[in-house]
Amino acid sequence: MQIEPDRTSQATFDYIEGLKRYVAEKFMPRLRAAYETHEQRYAQTHNGEKPATMEQVGEIMRSMMLYRYNRAVQQASQELMWRVIYESLEPRRAELAEELDRPTENALGSVETDPDLELPKYYTVVDFHLQPRSYHGDELAGVVYDIGVPIYVLRRNGPDSGESGRALASVIPPGQYEKILDMGCGVGQKTIPIADALPGSVVHAIDLSAPMIKYAHKRAERMGRRIHFSQQNVERTKFHDNTFDLIFSTILLHELPPGAIRNMIAEVYRVLKPGGLTAHLNLPPYSQVAPYNAFLMDWETHNNGEPYWHAFHELDLPGIFREAGFKNIREVTAESKNSGRGAYSGKSPYLVTMAEK
Amino acid sequence: MTKRPNQFDDPAIDTLLSIVLSLGNEVYVLRDRMRIIEKMLEAKGTISRTDIEAYKPTPEEEGEIRKDNDAFMARLFRVFEGNLE
């Protein structure tokens, strides 16, 4: 399934990307310069001390009109982005929905939805990234997400939106991984680079959203990859004990509240084979980021449909793995050649939490 | 459904900005269409709606469009380059 936008849609997408590029490349440096002036003034009234916490940074920032406008343009561009993507697909809705439901001929992989799966409350009450009707509430959610993401992140995630998947693959130790599982796979943007890095592995990928995995399946088949998608909850999967050699997630955990993360990590332990490896790629916690960048990162929590973002970036993730019984817990950085561009978390690379059962 | 966040103390400003940026979108798309129409008229002396929607810029033209886009944003947000804090 390939979506080729007409010229009007393409021009609209160009406009949105232009807004976002303006914010990231022109407006952010301008904001930073203005902030530094305020920071100097702050230091003069605080015994020469500059703001040392994200709360103190926030006090200054919220008083700045430039900050308010910077974030308002960011938010408005995000809302506009989803709206125009949906508008561009609306004339083809029936045809696309029918194609998503139609079994793929000579499929390499598979897809299995579960109409009886109860979606957790924490999940259904959020429009993640402000995407209307979120991941689960519209049959075209996966198509819309796959079009939106490259615009949203200014193509930082590279070809086929696989950058963070390639970053994770680069730190997974070479070895034999007979069966592997991607938790919270979305449309499979990161599943594919990992599968490519581990040829010979049987690849499973699960997500709560039926629209996302239906599209993920079509997308993987179009790209000629053999992946088995199923609609499951990472907190309680249908897999047997000791099934997988490797279980991973990419930029997923911040979308789960801490309780669900604990349940998920315990579930990973259950379905991982003894000696199996688990690896989870995320942005670094606030403690590893400069207060200015942490404050900007934290904006997501209340303004971009990411209510669990703050708690996640203050969580003791290795501690949760320890509680679940894992050993050899370590955190390694995974570089992405694009991770700094336009990202307000600064130049911080990804952080991968790894452990063995 | 997530409640709409506000960046300003008065949400009316957020609303107004959304309206302005939607208008910017319309203007941008019209400019794009106008550019294509001009190019087509110049090259073939004739245009059709189908031709416009199927239009694919050359890589060189993509570069021009990108420059035009940056300049458009710079004009739209010129006020932020001033003395605002």
ipTM comes to 0.88
pLDDT, one tens digit per residue, over A54-90 is 999 999 999 999 999 999 999 999 999 999 999 999 9
Chain A contact set for B21 (CB, 8 A) = 19, 73, 76-77, 80
CA dist list (Å): A199 to A169, A175, A280, A298: 12, 11, 20, 38
pLDDT, one tens digit per residue, over A213-250 is 999 999 999 999 999 999 999 999 999 999 999 999 99
Q: How far is B14 from chain A (nearest CA, A)?
A: 7
CA–CA separation, B83 vs B85, rounded Å? Answer: 6
Q: Is the pLDDT of residue A343 over 60?
A: no
Identify the CA nearest to B2 among candidates A149, A71, A131, A207.
Answer: A131
Asked if B67 is an interface residue toward chain A (Cβ–Cβ < 8 A), one would say no
In this complex, do A27 and B33 lie within 8 Å of one another by their Cβ atoms? Answer: no
Comparison of pLDDT for A346 and A148, the residue scoring more: A148
pLDDT, one tens digit per residue, over A88-99 is 999 999 999 999
The residue ranges of every structural domain in chain B are 11-78
Using 50, 70 and 90 to split pLDDT, how confident is the model at B82?
A: confident
Residue B2: predicted pLDDT: 64
Using 50, 70 and 90 to split pLDDT, how confident is the model at A335?
A: confident
Residue B70: predicted pLDDT: 92
Residues A279 and A250: beta-carbon distance below 8 Å:
no
Asked if A130 is an interface residue toward chain B (Cβ–Cβ < 8 A), one would say yes
Give the position of tokens 């399946």.
A217
Domain A1-357: which CATH number of 3.10.180.10, 3.40.50.150, 3.20.20.70, 3.40.50.300: 3.40.50.150
Asked if B15 is an interface residue toward chain A (Cβ–Cβ < 8 A), one would say no
Asked if A75 is an interface residue toward chain B (Cβ–Cβ < 8 A), one would say yes
Using 50, 70 and 90 to split pLDDT, how confident is the model at A42?
A: very high
Identify the CA nearest to A2 among candidates A218, A224, A157, A213.
Answer: A218
In this complex, do B77 and A22 lie within 8 Å of one another by their Cβ atoms? Answer: yes
Nearest-CA residue of chain A relative to B65? A14
pLDDT, one tens digit per residue, over A269-327 is 999 999 999 999 999 999 999 999 999 999 999 999 999 999 999 999 999 999 999 99
Element (DSSP H or E) covering residue B33: helix B11-44
Across the interface, which of B8, B53, B72 has its CB nearest the CB of A18? B72
Chain B contact set for A8 (CB, 8 A) = 29, 33, 53
In this complex, do A65 and B73 lie within 8 Å of one another by their Cβ atoms? Answer: no
pLDDT, one tens digit per residue, over A95-132 is 999 999 999 999 999 999 999 999 999 999 999 999 99
Preferred mutation among B7, B61, B78 to probe A, highest tally of A CBs within 10 A: B7
In this complex, do A19 and B72 lie within 8 Å of one another by their Cβ atoms? Answer: no
pLDDT > 70 fraction of chain A, expressed in percent and rounded: 96
